[in-house]
Structure 1
Amino acid sequence: VAYDIENKYAYQDGGAENKSNHKKFADYRLPDWVRHPLLEQRKKIGLLFPGEQTHYVGMLKEVRKKPKVQDMLAKAESIFGFDVEGLMKDGPASEMKSTGVNQPLIYVANCVAYEILKERSPEDAEKCQGVAGYSVGEWSALYAAGVITFE
């Protein structure tokens, strides 16, 4: 059904035809912000980094031996001046509670988690559209966004 331009209420039987110079729909490259029901929507990823008091004895247990993690733990120990890996591994939990210890532990754990994401799912890390953090997690978000270095 096609409507007449002079009389919007009048219509003519027929159909729309695709002109010869039109591209197929699949050939159009629409911008990322366009949501079209016929197109598969791209995955949107945001990263949230927790703040202090989210620590526990045994942090990074599954990934501690990876070379990248070992390097980050060694850097953290030299910067913070205490055994970051030892506290994460063995505690004691009572020593981990103080802000001066807890915040560095959470920062390191968050940054390590981001590096593990980049290793395991590089396409997800690359597609990240936003980062946020709570408290000391804001520093980890800045690291993940590439605003600051780990050090």
Structure 2
Amino acid sequence: MSNVIRGLFATPQQASLAIHQLAEKGFAEQQISLVSNETYDKDSFSISENTKFPEGVAIGAASGGVLASIGAGLAMVGSVATGGLGILAAGPIATAFFAGAGGGGILGGVFGSIFPDEENQYFEDEIVKGSVMVSVECDPAEFPKVEQVFSSCQAKRLNKSS
């Protein structure tokens, strides 16, 4: 996991919309990861195929399948030392957690070599507070496409590495 762009969203609905839009732009579920705290479950990320968001973005069936697959794959990957709140993850990031990359903080173990510790800690703190992280592993040439999606879905912070 070296070419990654990640966004932080205030709500599961914003994160879900971002995943739908990423799928519509051709990103595969194997490229997209989701991390949240345990107060959410797969139903928190579901959006009806007929949903129309205020921005006028209709949700299609193809992108709905990607989100359903990612949501179904949510699994507990660790807990935060302060308070023991569980962290859920799905996608390639969950595989990295289960492969033993969980040292150095929940996100530091996976992203430690590609993002600064301060950024990893900020994202982790925000996830504990209820934000949701979506990350995409892709060619850096595709970063602008992901940035556009994250911005249109109101990501409150994003960062990228390559």
- In the superposition, the TM-score normalised over structure 2's length comes to 0.25
Q: Higher RCO, 1 or 2 (CA under 8 Å, sep at least 6)?
A: 2
- Decide which structure has the larger Cα Rg and report it: 1
Return the structure number with greater strand share. 2
